[in-house]
Structure 1
Amino acid sequence: MAMWGGRFTEATLDEFKAFNDSISFDYQLAQQDIAASKVWAAGLAKAGLIAADEAKQLQQALQQLAEELLQNPRLPVESDEEDIHSWVESKLTERLGAVARKLHTGRSRNDLVATDLRLWTRAAASAVRSSLLGSIQALLNFAEAAGTAVMPGYTHLQRAQPVMVAHWALAYVEMMKRDLGRLDDASKRLNVCPLGAGALAGTGVPVDRSWLAQQLGFDAAAANSLDAVSDRDFVVEFSAAASLCMTHVSRLSEDVIFFCSGEAGFFKLGDAISSGSSLMPQKKNPDVFELLRGKSGRILGQLVAILHVLKGLPLAYNKDMQEDKQGFFDLMQQWQQSLQVLATVLPHLSVKVAVCRQAAELGYSNATDLADYLVGKGIPFRDAHHLSGQLVLIASGQQLPLEQLSLTEMQKVCPDISEDVYPALTLEAGMARRNALGGTSPEQVLPALVQARAWLATQQ
């Protein structure tokens, strides 16, 4: 019989039971349910509601159950119980009889599941954090290995200005640093304890909720019982943080896919992270980065789903909230795995330095450097921009790079140009000129890499 079956006289319809039961996925909360139950038993004894010996029996049986679950985490799924809470109570009753039936005193599945999910999320967030730091570490290693290699920077997917490859990698480090900040920020708001909030109005027994929260590693007990049992803001926050982080991973993946293509050829995929075609022997596919790109859509979908579940719910708990778990479990696991995979594959990605440099030299990416040179001659920037554009038009008509135009041809457009224009049009000069804070000059990028390393050391 279900734990709520006392006021019912008819058996549950099989179709309803199959639709209603959550044991097939909330079994993943088993260890958290046991941890919360052990503390609740201690809290009941502390309040004089059960004997100290009874609390000890409950805690020992719960510990045995936890150890059995370590051997077979899917053990609850093999049962016919409605949910993980019912399964734990059923197992305790088999072993302890009447003592087990005292455990639920003053407690509801509403505050229990809210506590379990927060405990699970806290552990999952810790795993994500570790993998996110691993991805940042791998990006820094990639940046260091690239040294002072130069590649084209893009806007509108058109070659724009040369940038250091390390500068490109550090851009994603900055994104992931913000992702880490969002993860840490969400973790702070997560860490309040709903246990003892009851079904909605608070527990009817004199337990010390602050003590319970402390025992479970929370910063505080939830302040309002209605909010405590119905709050899933933390699910939304972590889902949003995951969606944005995976958007960054997707953008990085898109870059890598293009940079490894035959059209660009800037990066080389190692064999260990590539796949081939069943038909075309020559193919070397970036499947791992395509999968990372694809995972972002899956994770974003879970964020949209939980927002739609919550948007019309009245206070307090509603069964709709059972839909908070499957997608969220998947999201947190996919997020952590994606970051772990990214950290694993980046060391198998290498830079084709000569190809990158040649591409950076083409496409008139030094046209802005020419405009800057003219500004240095006292010409207003808007005029310098126009003159530089005219010279690009002449050079492209002759299928020559800017630096191969003769001085005579340049001076026809602007008499102020002299021989010193040619050193100003080199990659090295253009890079060095981008020396303001955050720029792509080696004098900015290399110290930024050192600073990022120092920051990472504080996060471990």
Structure 2
Amino acid sequence: MAAPGDAPSEGMLWGGRFTGGIDPLMHQYNASISYDSRLFKEDILGSIAFARANAKSGIISNDDFVEIERGLHEVLKEWEGGHFVIKSNDEDIHTANERRLGEIIGKNIAGKLHTGRSRNEQVVCDMRMWLRERIREIDSQLVALVKVITGRAESEIDYLMPGYTHLQRAQPIRFSQWLMSFGFAFMNDVERLRECLKRVNKSPLGCGALAGNVFNIDREMMAKELGFDDILWNSMNAVSDRDFVTEFLQWGSLFMQHISRWAEDLIIYSTQEFGFIYIADAYSTGSSLMPQKHNPDGLELLRGKAGRAFGHMSGFMMTQKGLPSTYNKDLQESWEPMLDHVKTISDSIQIANGILSTLTIRPERMLAALDPFMLATDVAERLTKLGVPFRETHHIAGRCVAKSEELGIPMNELTLEQLKAIDSRFPDDIKEIFKYESSVEAKSARGGTSRSSILEQIKVLRAMLG
């Protein structure tokens, strides 16, 4: 193990109080530049806004501000052009940018950039700005997925399939009804994400380390320049609050739960036993041993990534649970879950969109999977319309199921005489009930699986999308 003192604290933003060096491993353990460097743009824009506010309040001169702004734009160009060189003492993006600014415009002027500002407010400002833009990107990607769902639901509305409870065939539905069930779930996710954005998009800049800013800085002006909707109104809360990260992680965990369940259905439907759909080769793999295999790896990874997303959320919540108030270094642990969560969610939505856009429907297999037993409820409902109490009709339909099982024939092959022997109140046209299309079309109340109801659902969902 390296001895303390091998890595100097000179050059660190906090180094003035320290006379000895820092353990190299501690330097590495403490540093966040390996991942927070991707927030270079947010950090530079926040620094420009802060310097502008300091110039307005007279803490730095206008000439100094002009030079700081010029230098920061030079730093930004280096990052964007891939030319920025990270040095060993650049422990985070703030240190790196300020160090480079000093090299460009001189340390004397660059040293005024941080006047009245703490990294405690700076880091969370960068995080909020970065996450805000990623949320908007994810929103757009999720809306695109819902549009694919509504498009396929409309174009494939004539395909019938079994609907399942307990993974047992229950009642006939339209394939579009299944699609739309997830369309509305994902639309709820869109709405929740937009609510989350409201709490992300608030500015902590101008709160200092925890007690506030002594130079009467214009926080509202900075917030407006940086695109925030509002400021955070308590300085202690502002520098320590990571609820916006936790809420986003919670949102992502719930969304990925929906994606996982959607993927699980499609995995089942793609098996040879079901054969309802075929997953495009672009989202499948084969076997290194068995050449006949066509594995739905894209869907399985979506299902697996749901656990990863939940892990981000639960891990960070445990980090926070015992922290004292205001800023603690533990909060650095919010970075990597947030960054990885964004990538996991964004990639997953795009993969899901690709899978859904390219999968092939096999309506003949769906239709073949329908079973007359699935119309037992329709039999009961037909008698109910004739005035027989439903609890009684339920038992009558159950005896019809039992009779067909006893005879070893499908329920629709029971003769009218056999049905009337079970209950004399069966009408002469009861055999007409054994039609899947009629069963589906009978579910015409709003939200049901009839053609008109699904078309109404599509219209409602598209209106929600705006």
Secondary structure of the corresponding residue to residue 418 of structure 1: coil
Report the counterpart of residue 330 of structure 1 in structure 2: 340
2:299 & 2:170 partners in 1: Cα distance? Answer: 25
The answer to whether residue 111 in structure 2 is matched with residue 66 in structure 1 is no
1:229 & 1:68 partners in 2: Cα distance? Answer: 29
The answer to whether residue 374 in structure 2 is matched with residue 339 in structure 1 is no
The answer to whether residue 130 in structure 2 is matched with residue 120 in structure 1 is yes
User: Which of residues 152, 158, 172 is equivalent to 1:162?
Assistant: 172
Residue identity matched to 1:405:
L
User: Which of residues 349, 360, 364 is equivalent to 1:354?
Assistant: 364
The Cα offsets for residues 96-127 of structure 1, whole Å up to 9 and x where unpaired, read as: 12100000000000000010000011011011
2:233 & 2:169 partners in 1: Cα distance? Answer: 55
Report the counterpart of residue 3 of structure 2 in structure 1: none
User: Which of residues 180, 190, 194 is equivalent to 1:184?
Assistant: 194
2:130 & 2:117 partners in 1: Cα distance? Answer: 19
CA contact (8 A) 1:27 1:76 kept: no
1:452 & 1:350 partners in 2: Cα distance? Answer: 24
Q: 1:444 to 1:38 in 2, by over 3 A?
A: same
Report the counterpart of residue 379 of structure 2 in structure 1: 370
The Cα offsets for residues 158-186 of structure 1, whole Å up to 9 and x where unpaired, read as: 00011110010001010011100110001
Report the counterpart of residue 5 of structure 2 in structure 1: none
CA contact (8 A) 1:61 1:95 kept: yes
User: Which of residues 248, 256, 268 is equivalent to 1:258?
Assistant: 268
Secondary structure of the corresponding residue to residue 111 of structure 2: helix
The Cα offsets for residues 402-426 of structure 1, whole Å up to 9 and x where unpaired, read as: 1111111111111111331111221
How far off is 1:76 after superposition? Answer: 5.8
Residue identity matched to 1:285:
N
CA contact (8 A) 2:416 2:431 kept: no
Residue identity matched to 2:25:
E
Structure 2 length as normaliser, TM-score?
Answer: 0.95
Residue identity matched to 1:241:
W
Structure 1 length as normaliser, TM-score?
Answer: 0.96
User: Which of residues 278, 281, 288 is equivalent to 1:268?
Assistant: 278
Report the counterpart of residue 211 of structure 1 in structure 2: 221
How far off is 1:89 after superposition? Answer: 0.7
The Cα offsets for residues 67-106 of structure 1, whole Å up to 9 and x where unpaired, read as: 2111228x46554311111101100111112100000000
* Gap regions ≥5 residues in structure 1: none
CA contact (8 A) 1:193 1:218 kept: yes
How far off is 1:433 after superposition? Answer: 1.5
Report the counterpart of residue 293 of structure 2 in structure 1: 283
The answer to whether residue 456 in structure 2 is matched with residue 447 in structure 1 is yes
Higher alpha-carbon deviation: 397-406 or 285-294: 397-406
Secondary structure of the corresponding residue to residue 399 of structure 2: helix
The Cα offsets for residues 279-310 of structure 1, whole Å up to 9 and x where unpaired, read as: 11111111111111111110111010111111
CA contact (8 A) 1:375 1:381 kept: yes
1:205 & 1:392 partners in 2: Cα distance? Answer: 82
Q: 1:278 to 1:110 in 2, by over 3 A?
A: same
How far off is 1:145 after superposition? Answer: 3.0
User: Which of residues 83, 91, 94 is equivalent to 1:85?
Assistant: 94
How far off is 1:452 after superposition? Answer: 2.3
CA contact (8 A) 1:134 1:340 kept: no
Secondary structure of the corresponding residue to residue 162 of structure 1: strand
The answer to whether residue 321 in structure 2 is matched with residue 296 in structure 1 is no
The answer to whether residue 21 in structure 2 is matched with residue 11 in structure 1 is yes
2:328 & 2:260 partners in 1: Cα distance? Answer: 35
CA contact (8 A) 1:159 1:363 kept: no
Secondary structure of the corresponding residue to residue 161 of structure 2: strand
CA contact (8 A) 2:377 2:397 kept: yes
2:201 & 2:339 partners in 1: Cα distance? Answer: 18
Report the counterpart of residue 401 of structure 2 in structure 1: 392
Q: CA RMSD in A?
A: 1.3
Higher alpha-carbon deviation: 99-108 or 427-436: 427-436
The Cα offsets for residues 314-344 of structure 1, whole Å up to 9 and x where unpaired, read as: 1110000000000110001110111111112
CA contact (8 A) 2:210 2:239 kept: yes
1:388 & 1:328 partners in 2: Cα distance? Answer: 54
Residue identity matched to 1:186:
C
Report the counterpart of residue 194 of structure 1 in structure 2: 204
How far off is 1:358 after superposition? Answer: 1.7
Secondary structure of the corresponding residue to residue 152 of structure 1: strand
Residue identity matched to 2:95:
S
How far off is 1:270 after superposition? Answer: 2.1
CA contact (8 A) 1:273 1:348 kept: no
Provide the identity percentage: 38
How far off is 1:11 after superposition? Answer: 0.5
1:281 & 1:78 partners in 2: Cα distance? Answer: 51
* Gap regions ≥5 residues in structure 2: 1-9
CA contact (8 A) 2:86 2:96 kept: no
Secondary structure of the corresponding residue to residue 325 of structure 1: helix
1:135-146 matches, cutoff 5 A: 135-146=145-156
How far off is 1:398 after superposition? Answer: 2.7
